[in-house]
A and B are shown apart, each in its own frame.
Chain A
Amino acid sequence: MKYRITHSTLYHYSQPVGLCQNEARLQPRNVAYQRCEHSHFDINPKPLDLRERTDFFGNRVAYFAIQQAHTQLVVTAISDVTVLPKPNRPEQFSAISWEQVQTWLRETPLSGSGQQAEFSPELFEARQYVLDSPMIPISPDVAQYAQASFVPNRPLVEVVHNLMGRIFNDFTYDPSFTTIATPLADVLKFRRGVCQDFAHLGIACLRAYGLAARYISGYVETLPEPGKARLVGADASHAWFSVYIPDTGWLDFDPTNNTMPLEQHITLAWGRDFADVTPLKGIAFGGGQHTLTVSVDVLRLD
């Protein structure tokens, strides 16, 4: 499946901004089932300084600075992405139990000793996603909520499916309730949130049981209701999570839609939590009050 994604952010300021520095993670990375064919920025006013790099987690980052006075800034990223079909039936995956994975993550030496003399980059990477992260502190409350899914000897894939379904059913989707600053504890307490909160919660539940889980930022294609025209720019950023399963690799789960992402999910970036992959952030000097408008368009090309 081929898509053209247009992600546009408009800042409007009540007073001029003399200088702003920005960091954008808006260019899709290449992953096993996804190829970014082409991606470019259209920024106005034009930044005099723009530099791209790869961050610690392997995401594409662009740093840019607007050094002339401006009262409006538009940042648009346009990307063409091909998403390949993925295997999606649980029976295709490893039947390894969650306890086995937990032990494997904890006990396996990275290299050097015993039979496994080869350094395992996969294990090294996975271990980093077991630990608490700034936006996902693991509390006893989280572990308690997760417990019902962690039936002894259950295969990990089944555990995660069950967990995803419970989050989908137990929590109300409510954009008016949370902002990016809402702590996970509040989400759990009031049983409300948006995609980002549900992804954080899923990750927290898995990490509470010593498993490796990471946060994915991206997009999902929305199909118009039958008989209605497709609305351009009405899409939005999306988020879900991924869990590490030995010998299988990372498997994605979307608790907001209670589904395993297939060809309609486009991955932008991943990290320990939202803070690692904020699509666009900036520090502006001056500016007074600012308003911000985002429009996202996920257009199917074939």
Chain B
Amino acid sequence: MPNRNHLANDMGTQHYATQLGIYDEMYATENKALPHWERFMAALEAMGSEQLELRRREAQRLLRENGVTYNVYGDAQNLTRPWRLDPVPLLISSEEWAIIEAGLKQRAELMDLILKDLYGPQSLLKKGLLPAELIFGHDGFLHPCVGALPKQQRHLTLYSANLARGPNGRMWVLDDRTQAPSGSGYALENRTVMTRVLPDIFRQTQVRRLSGFFHALQQGLVDIAPHNKEDPRIVVLTPGPLNETYFEHAYLAAQLGFTLVQGGDLTVRDGRVWLKSLAGLQAVDVILRRVDDSFCDPLEMRSSSQLGVAGLLEVVRRGHVAIANPLGSSILENPGLLAFLPRLSRHLLSQELKLPSIATWWCGQRREREFVLKNLDSLVIKPINRSLGNHAVFGGSLSNAEKELLRQQIIAKPHLFIGQEQVSFSTLPAFIDHHIEARNAVLRNFVVASGNEYVVMPGGLTRVARQKDNFVVSNQAGGISKDTWVLAKEPDKPLSIWTQARRPQLLDVASEPLTSRAADNLFWVGRHLERVEATTRLLRTLLQKLREALEFKDSIDTQCLAVLLRTLTQVTGTYPGFVKCADSLLQAPEQELLVLAKDGNRKGSLTANVQAFGQAAFNIRDLWSHDTWRSIDNIQRRWQQRVVNVELGVEQLQKNLDDLLTGIVAFTGLTAESMTREAAWLMLDSGRRLERALALIALLRSSLALRHEEPLQNQVLEAVLVATDSLTIYQRRYRAVLQLPMVLTLLLLDETHPRSLAYQLRELTAHIGVLPRSKGKSPLSEEEAIVLKAYTDLRLCNIQELILATDNAGIYPRLEQLLADTTQLLWRLAEVIAAAYFSHAQTSQLMVQTATEDEL
């Protein structure tokens, strides 16, 4: 019989139906809500469901704006999925938390001791306390790591566990996470958002703060540094933006003040790990890794991995770098271990296990195997190794043939399987479609070794299934997250994340090293952004001309339109486009124009460049200020929602182009006002200047470098001035006289005009001059020499000479030559910059004899 409560309100909490035999967080097994829930629910009910829905949406908006995402594998089209947050948190009383906290600390201690033994003396195996097959048969046991644990008080720096409450009301551990536990960043972000959307309720409820945990995490990582204990360099090693929890990697790096790196950003030399930064190699002391351990060193482990650092394990062996968690710690995620933990706890800690694990039978033992085979129908069967196509099955849901196959597999290699009890997790209230409903929940906790003890985050990441009665709670399956409120007896003072200096001092400004990968991405953010801007402005000019041509049916308008259409193809590089096309396309270009705006699959289209801009910016998510990220998100989202996802004609396109320009201006304004003029800015702005120069040249080459008759010439000149946002300034300077030499002077040579070629080259020269670079013996680096040549050639040119018509070829050959030469130099410049500064791009290869030579 469902348990119903008696509160009447519009949220339907009176219909909150718990299930018989399943524990509910709010009601326990009683008919009345637990006191701490009662107060909280009363506050929610006072608010009403409409208001709560508004708060929920506000939370989603904040999360989206902050760029909180969870990537779903195999979903390249729609790479990031917004993080979902339910406004009803999980409440845990302080009495109960004390029990959970003690249990987690004990378990972390136990795991640490097991790890130390397995990669050290292996006495647990030798004494028969753990079967050798369970360890040596698990993919997480990495042979090269034996004997490679550093001298530290604790080896397992990070520990995480998934908890759920069983029918008897006790908390059970479902599984242990020791490889590279994820979720703490999401938990922090959930909390940040909750305090903004439910500020009153949060304030009235005495909730334990999370900042202490992150402080402990910072300290814990400093603790394990083998060198530079005063100020170690700590990096967060991520597999990259395609990883499911990339947001969190970037977020934690930014929150904790660490450098976010990928494998290619690091290198091993002289037995140390170094960060490849724009300013040269910088020693790394600690790696917080989010790359699976077997991928971390292609030399000694998976040779095909491009995510790691060759030689890393050798550096670990020599004690010159600390990794949290150590390589090899995924052995502790072996679910077969659960069956042995009570015994190991007695042996290693002389204590009973405080938090029980879910009942587990390892099939490597005869009695346990027989039990599992006899009870296949009522158990969950899991292989101890997680891999593709190799996952847990509910025995009862198998057909007879499948069951027989599973039985055969277990008998053939019993040590690779476990049986587990099917547990009914507890339910808790969730706000689903304007109603409070009961959902099954799993709580992930986080523990970090810091100072002399393990510190547990008072809170965690609670996840519920979207569907009712669904026990599979996972982010990949589209679950919803919740904040977790551990109630305090007394108000908990928030702890600042800032480190307290021991005495007042003026620290040297340690400018954060810019990794070559970040430099690369910044450069491309600038280039893509400028491509978007140049295309947008030209397209806008073109649509205006198209309207005039249709309205006035003047042949000059039509001719000018044709020039602009061909120019658009040249500027965007979308050949053949309007170059060498049928007249019919020039007369009715609307369809092609829409494709060039909308189609993300068309290289050079606006959408393609907007997406490339967004991706490059996402790759360095940790470098942007909050507001800057919001402006990036705005540009992408509005374009996607208002142009890409809808049917629209060229008329509506015009308005959206204006909107896009506004978005770009917001971004450029924010970056100009908030970025320090250091390497990051130099890279971003160099990318912009380079691309703006190239776009301007492409525009001029297909418009003004061609000779036109007088009336057409005037129209083309005007269009070029509009497309370069230079019409107003031209008019102010030269009044109503529209002439080629003056337009060229303004657009090519005027160094005071931020859209002129000379301005771009001058800025590039200045930026490149201050980039860190060893020049060798020559006074100028190669990139300095190239940009100097381009700049000097331009300054030395004479406009009147450029437009001498030497033959009847229909072009101004000297102008064309200057522009073509400058293009070549700029392309070369981009190559040289990439080779000099983006060293992470160098790929590694495995050298091994592939064919076995042999003899008889």
Residues of A with Cβ closer than 8 Å to B?
9, 11, 18-23, 48-49, 51, 53, 55-57, 63, 65, 67, 109-113, 119, 124, 127-128, 131-132, 138, 140, 173, 175, 178-181, 194-196, 220, 222, 235-239, 256-257, 276, 278-287, 290, 292, 294
Q: Which of B132, B299, B842, B854 contacts A281 (CB 8 A)?
A: B299
- The answer to whether A175 and B126 touch (CB under 8 A), given A281-B848, A283-B847, A284-B845, is no
Interface size class of B (residues with CB under 8 A): 35 or more
Q: Which of B143, B269, B298, B303 contacts A65 (CB 8 A)?
A: B269
Check B795 for interface membership: any CB of A closer than 8 A: no
The 3 tightest CB contacts between A and B, nearest first, are A283-B310, A21-B311, A236-B853
Q: Which of A65, A237, A292 contacts B311 (CB 8 A)?
A: A65
B169 → chain A closest CB, angstroms: 38
Check B855 for interface membership: any CB of A closer than 8 A: yes
- The answer to whether A131 and B303 touch (CB under 8 A), given A194-B854, A236-B853, A283-B845, is no
| Pair B413/A237 contact, Cβ less than 8 Å | no
Minimal Cβ-Cβ distance residue in A for B845: A284
Contacting residues, chain A, for B127 (C-beta < 8 A): 110-112, 119
Check B396 for interface membership: any CB of A closer than 8 A: no
Contacting residues, chain B, for A286 (C-beta < 8 A): 842
| Pair B853/A237 contact, Cβ less than 8 Å | yes
| Pair B310/A21 contact, Cβ less than 8 Å | yes
Contacting residues, chain B, for A57 (C-beta < 8 A): 143
| Pair A113/B854 contact, Cβ less than 8 Å | no
CA distance A227 to B418 in the complex (A): 64
| Pair A236/B854 contact, Cβ less than 8 Å | yes
| Pair A257/B845 contact, Cβ less than 8 Å | no
Contacting residues, chain B, for A238 (C-beta < 8 A): 854-855
Instruction: List 18 interface pairs A-B (beta carbons < 8 Å), by A numbering.
Output: A21-B314, A51-B314, A55-B143, A65-B268, A110-B127, A110-B132, A128-B136, A173-B854, A194-B854, A235-B855, A236-B855, A238-B855, A278-B848, A280-B848, A281-B847, A282-B299, A284-B845, A292-B849
Contacting residues, chain A, for B300 (C-beta < 8 A): 23
CA distance A132 to B132 in the complex (A): 13
| Pair A237/B269 contact, Cβ less than 8 Å | no
Digit string of B397-433 for contact with A (CB within 8 Å is 1, else 0)? 0000000000000001101000000000000000000
| Pair A112/B128 contact, Cβ less than 8 Å | yes
Minimal Cβ-Cβ distance residue in B for A11: B847
B391 → chain A closest CB, angstroms: 18
Q: Which of A49, A56, A194, A220 contacts B271 (CB 8 A)?
A: A49
| Pair A63/B311 contact, Cβ less than 8 Å | yes
CA distance A278 to B849 in the complex (A): 9
Contacting residues, chain B, for A67 (C-beta < 8 A): 269-270
Contacting residues, chain B, for A294 (C-beta < 8 A): 849, 853
Residues of B with Cβ closer than 8 Å to A?
125-128, 132-133, 136-137, 143-144, 146-147, 267-271, 298-300, 303, 310-311, 314, 317-318, 412-413, 415, 842-856
CA distance A84 to B74 in the complex (A): 58
B837 → chain A closest CB, angstroms: 15
| Pair B144/A257 contact, Cβ less than 8 Å | no
Contacting residues, chain B, for A290 (C-beta < 8 A): 845, 847
- The answer to whether A283 and B846 touch (CB under 8 A), given A21-B311, A65-B268, A128-B136, is yes
| Pair A55/B847 contact, Cβ less than 8 Å | no
Minimal Cβ-Cβ distance residue in B for A175: B854
Which of B136, B147, B415, B843: most chain A CB closer than 10 A?
B136
CA distance A276 to B271 in the complex (A): 23
Contacting residues, chain B, for A48 (C-beta < 8 A): 270
| Pair B143/A276 contact, Cβ less than 8 Å | yes
Which of B137, B271, B300, B844: most chain A CB closer than 10 A?
B844
| Pair A285/B849 contact, Cβ less than 8 Å | no
CA distance A112 to B300 in the complex (A): 35
In the complex, besides A9-B849, A256-B856, 14 extra interface pairs with C-beta distance below 8 angstroms are A18-B842, A48-B270, A56-B143, A110-B127, A113-B128, A132-B137, A173-B854, A194-B852, A236-B855, A238-B855, A281-B848, A283-B298, A284-B845, A285-B842
Q: Which of B126, B847, B852 contacts A111 (CB 8 A)?
A: B126
- The answer to whether A63 and B314 touch (CB under 8 A), given A19-B269, A179-B850, A220-B855, is yes
Contacting residues, chain A, for B268 (C-beta < 8 A): 21, 65
Q: Which of A63, A131, A279, A285 contacts B844 (CB 8 A)?
A: A285
B547 → chain A closest CB, angstroms: 54
CA distance A195 to B855 in the complex (A): 8
| Pair A292/B128 contact, Cβ less than 8 Å | no
Contacting residues, chain B, for A292 (C-beta < 8 A): 847, 849
Contacting residues, chain A, for B271 (C-beta < 8 A): 49, 51
Where chain B touches its partner, the secondary structure class is loop
Contacting residues, chain B, for A110 (C-beta < 8 A): 125-128, 132
CA distance A293 to B699 in the complex (A): 54
| Pair A131/B128 contact, Cβ less than 8 Å | no
Contacting residues, chain B, for A132 (C-beta < 8 A): 137, 413
Contacting residues, chain A, for B413 (C-beta < 8 A): 132, 138
| Pair A175/B853 contact, Cβ less than 8 Å | yes
Which of B147, B314, B845: most chain A CB closer than 10 A?
B845
Minimal Cβ-Cβ distance residue in B for A182: B852
| Pair B852/A237 contact, Cβ less than 8 Å | yes
A252 → chain B closest CB, angstroms: 17
- The answer to whether A175 and B311 touch (CB under 8 A), given A55-B144, A284-B847, is no
Contacting residues, chain A, for B415 (C-beta < 8 A): 131
Q: Which of B136, B270, B303, B846 contacts A49 (CB 8 A)?
A: B270
CA distance A14 to B34 in the complex (A): 73
B410 → chain A closest CB, angstroms: 14
B336 → chain A closest CB, angstroms: 14
Minimal Cβ-Cβ distance residue in A for B302: A134
Minimal Cβ-Cβ distance residue in A for B846: A283
| Pair B311/A179 contact, Cβ less than 8 Å | no
CA distance A132 to B144 in the complex (A): 17
| Pair A180/B855 contact, Cβ less than 8 Å | no
B343 → chain A closest CB, angstroms: 13
Contacting residues, chain A, for B856 (C-beta < 8 A): 173, 256-257
| Pair B854/A196 contact, Cβ less than 8 Å | yes
CA distance A294 to B851 in the complex (A): 11
Contacting residues, chain A, for B133 (C-beta < 8 A): 127, 131
Contacting residues, chain A, for B844 (C-beta < 8 A): 283-285
| Pair B143/A280 contact, Cβ less than 8 Å | no
Minimal Cβ-Cβ distance residue in B for A292: B849
B435 → chain A closest CB, angstroms: 51
A131 → chain B closest CB, angstroms: 5
Contacting residues, chain A, for B267 (C-beta < 8 A): 19, 285
